Amino acid sequence: MLYKYNGNNNIEMMPVIDFKDLGKYEKDLEDLLAQNLSDLYSEDEQLMTIFQERKGQEEPDLCALDKHGNLIIFELKRGIVQGDTTIQVMRYSQTWGQKNYFELNDAFQKYTDSSDELRLVHAEAFGLDFPLHIESFNSSQKLVVIGSSADVKLMNAVSYWKSKGINIDFTPYRFYRINNETYFEFFAKPYDHHIDIQSSKGIIFDTNKKYNSQSLWDMFSDSKVSAYGEVKTCVKSFKKDDYVLYYHVGVGIVGVGKIKTGKIKSIKSNDEMYLDVEMLTPIVKKECDLKYISKNELEELLDKTFFWARTDKRPFLSKNESEIIAKTLSNKYSSDNTDNHLGLK
């Protein structure tokens, strides 16, 4: 629950509004979750959406995979519900729990309207060295009922089945209307693993290598961080004094900079939005001069895992973590320069 602090140890409970009061439907809640799972679930709990319910079909609202290929089945409710929601989600589990990899792959390709192979996309999203074997997919399932925090009956039903050994959980949400703005509160586990975004943070940011191999060199030469096309608004994740960790696909973190002002600029001819950056690591001009921190090295250095299937990777880093990466990478570059100076290379 959210409280307004009025001073002198006085608090005032903020009123909660129902999702339907916003004129929204369960499908809207479903889309909200599907498109933001990597924000709502952090680190080892990261999830990858692979399927959403189709209109008029008896299907789960939302299906996702975790890093190990386990299937998470979501049932979403926008308000106080009647009936046996838990029975419904267990019926979906019975059906989808028996699906093999090829059936999941088919559902994923229909959902994404692509021919992308699920196991390859999954490996890239979670930064795996090798794709999982097909038999690893859907070896176990977890059921998650997402409902209003006011729905005590639904919470009790989930608790009952959980006490009987069913792998099911209840995740509550709340909506608030404060000063004519709407706020969404979500209680994903593990709780409170997100950093305080008011403090300086670090973002692992994709250099767009897959689509334009020259993007990195353009960013380095002009001391900026850029995003393009449909994902160009990702630069809005940064604010002044945040750290940008340039991630080059197939290589790793190749540079670190600090956002100068937070003022977003654009280049219409290139469909680009960018921010000016103070580079903290050397600016190089060609691929063979790049030093890097690989995915595995990064995760070992910080003792955390990341979701790689987006331009601005999740989770964000703290200021201290960002400075560790900047120092480690700078040492790699300076060590290389020292070796060259000594004639060792």
Task: Give ∠ CA 280-286-292 in degrees, rounded to 5.
Answer: 50
Point out the residues of the chain with pLDDT beneath 50.
192, 338-345
Separation between Cα atoms, residue 263 and residue 243, nearest integer Å: 15
**Over the stretch 219-255, which tens digit does the pLDDT of each residue have?**
999 999 999 999 999 999 999 999 999 999 999 999 9
Separation between Cα atoms, residue 171 and residue 26, nearest integer Å: 15
CA distances from 304 to 44, 126, 298, 321 (A): 7, 12, 8, 11
Residue 97 has a pLDDT of 93
Is 19 strand, coil or helix? helix
> What residue ranges define each of the domains in the chain, with the CATH number in brackets?
3-186 (no CATH), 201-341 (3.10.590)
Residue 341 has a pLDDT of 39
Residue 263 has a pLDDT of 94
